Amino acid sequence: MKKITDLTEVRYKTVESKDAEGKSQRSRKEYTSVRPVESVLPGPRIGHFIIDLIAFQIIIYFIGYFFDLLLNLTNFNVAVSLTIGLINFLVALLLYPFLYAFCEYKWQRTPGKYLTRTLVIDEYGNKPELRTIVLRSLIRIVPLELFSCFGNDPGSRGWHDRWSGTWVVKEKELTELKRLQAAQNELI
């Protein structure tokens, strides 16, 4: 199966040439070129982040509420209370990558991606493996990673995409990639 970065498409360019009398003539010339994968742009990606942040904060709020109930219902000493508070903090910190990994592995999308009809794919246009999704989710912890999709990389792939070999694409783009793959795999 061809990788989505190896798919080609037929394109046309205008070529100028001179005829026997020296007059300029334009003609269309067909050529084959590698088709770029149309990743989601930075604007929607920031929207995904904000929507996911709100959804995940709601979940974390309820988990924190549970820990507060645990502290209030029991009569622990200060050391145990601080330990439970630290555990609550660590759970909240580790819950972000876990929730991203869970959502993207189960459905190939987070709540933000669901609303914009986008999803995560691997280099073959398929659902990424669990290992890849976990790596992608852990990379999100890197400081300033959120802004990596604003770089010079075409298609606004952030570090979590580039380093894990994944893409975030619209459903329509995935359909087109699968169509091209099917057609070009028959030629091999």
Query: What's the pTM?
Result: 0.79
Domain borders along the chain are 42-187
Span 45-62, average pLDDT: 89
pLDDT mean across residues, the chain: 86
- Where are any strands of DSSP class E within 36-158? 118-121
Alpha carbon of residue 147 to chain centroid: 13
Reply yes or no on whether the pLDDT at 99 is more than 70: yes
Whether pLDDT at 5 is above 80: yes
pLDDT of residue 141: 84
